[in-house]
Amino acid sequence: MFGRYMIVGSNGAVWSSTDATNWTAESSAATVEFRGFGWNGQQKVLIGGRGGAILTAPLSGYQRWLSTNFNGAQLEDSALIAPGADPDGDGRNNLLEHALGRSPTTPDANAVTMTTQRLDNDWVYTYSRPADRAEINYSVEISTDLTNWNANQVAHTRTSTDGTTETWEARYPAATAPILFFRLKVTQ
């Protein structure tokens, strides 16, 4: 009889567990093949194994985010969960939605999460992001023509945090550019 948790490999191998940590082979397949990853309730990736053993490894921050924003069938669709995919069609791909703590399945193109203004002698670009995105690299780039982008002379600093959300600002000297465009660049 199967335990509370069950995984089926792409080759038909079946494994079950009552605690999502200790796994028992329920089929005769010696090799377990997995497409993508599985979530065992403790946020671990099920990588596969041989001879009655399953190897586990912690999920990355992006994989944890996927597991809380997509259901099991959606997690099998590599085109839907790819970092560059935009399942809700709001113009923000999955990686950017993850980096900003937004929903990948609910359009939020009009949600204000970034502002640009001129304060004193600087252009100031402000945005908020989750505090727990250590695997994401954030940079703010500037352009005067929307073609050439760089981060030269951009001062990027955290201005506040409540432990869950951080507010960041990027400043650029207004004297060097009467018109300026900012963009947030995120990478893993």
pLDDT of 87 reads 95
Q: Flag whether the pTM goes above 0.85.
A: no
Torsion of CA 173, 137, 168, 70, to 10 degrees: 140
The proportion of the chain whose per-residue pLDDT surpasses 70, expressed as a percent, equals 66
What is the pLDDT confidence band of residue 114, given thresholds at 50, 70 and 90? confident
Structure tokens at 44: 């671990």
Phi then psi for residue 127, to 5 deg, are -150, 160
Q: What is the tens place of the pLDDT at every residue in 123-143?
A: 999 999 999 999 999 999 999
Q: Please give the domain boundaries of the chain with CATH numbers for all domains.
A: 5-58 (no CATH), 61-100 (no CATH), 114-187 (2.60.40.10)
Q: What is the tens place of the pLDDT at every residue in 150-165?
A: 999 999 999 999 999 9
pLDDT of 42 reads 44
